[in-house]
Amino acid sequence: MKLTLFTDYSMRVLLYLGAREQRLCSIGEVAKAYGISQNHLMKVVNELVRSGYIESVRGRFGGIRLGKPPNAINLGTLVRHTEEGFDLVDCGSCVIAPACGLTGVLKEALGAFLGVLDSYTLADLLARQPGFAAMFPLVSEPAEHRAKI
């Protein structure tokens, strides 16, 4: 199973924000921390804001932050939301699909994959690596962003 970059970036944004719950972050800051495209990240952030995973605060001292507590962000639910489809192979156009049995096995495997993700939250990931925030170089930020929100 291979997840899209959209899902990958969604998880990265949530991890970054979860490690910095005490302040607002900018999209540019997150992009710089991961070395990824700010333009692509903006699309991801817009969807995460639209779906309530994160909040956007407008204005001069605005930014983004988690829209829910980390323990309320389920990884399985997030992956289902960010992935467009879960067809591992195109069994619909295969002439042997009704007899081969592969379709059922793949559905079972996908169910197991999503079942594991369903058993974890963002809080679980953050708790596994208590020093996660320290992995990123310090990014220059306005003093207002360093204050508690």
pLDDT of residue 143 exceeding 60, the answer is no
Show Cβ contacts of residue 60 under 8 Å, excluding neighbours closer than 6 positions. none
How far is the CA of 4 from the CAs of 9, 112, 128, in angstroms?
A: 9, 19, 24
CA angle at 92 for the pair 88 and 93, rounded to the nearest 5°: 110
User: Has residue 32 been placed in a domain?
Assistant: yes
By the 8 A CB rule, do 30 and 13 touch? yes
pLDDT in tens, 24-41: 999 999 999 999 999 999
* DSSP H or E run through 57: strand 54-57
User: Has residue 106 been placed in a domain?
Assistant: no
The percent of residues in the chain predicted with pLDDT above 70, rounded, is: 91
User: Has residue 110 been placed in a domain?
Assistant: no
pLDDT in tens, 84-122: 887 777 777 888 877 888 888 888 999 999 999 999 999
The domain spanning residue 135 has which CATH number?
1.10.10.10
Provide the residue range defining the domain that includes 58.
Answer: 5-86+121-146
Give pTM, 2 decimals. 0.84
The DSSP code sequence of 68-122 is: S-GGG-BHHHHHHHH-S---SS-GGG-TTHHHH-HHHHHHHHHHHHHHHHHT-BH
Task: Name the average pLDDT for the chain.
Answer: 87
Question: How many other CB atoms are there within 10 angstroms of residue 145's CB atom?
Answer: 18
The whole-number average pLDDT for the span 42-48 is 97
User: Has residue 109 been placed in a domain?
Assistant: no
Domain count, the chain: 1
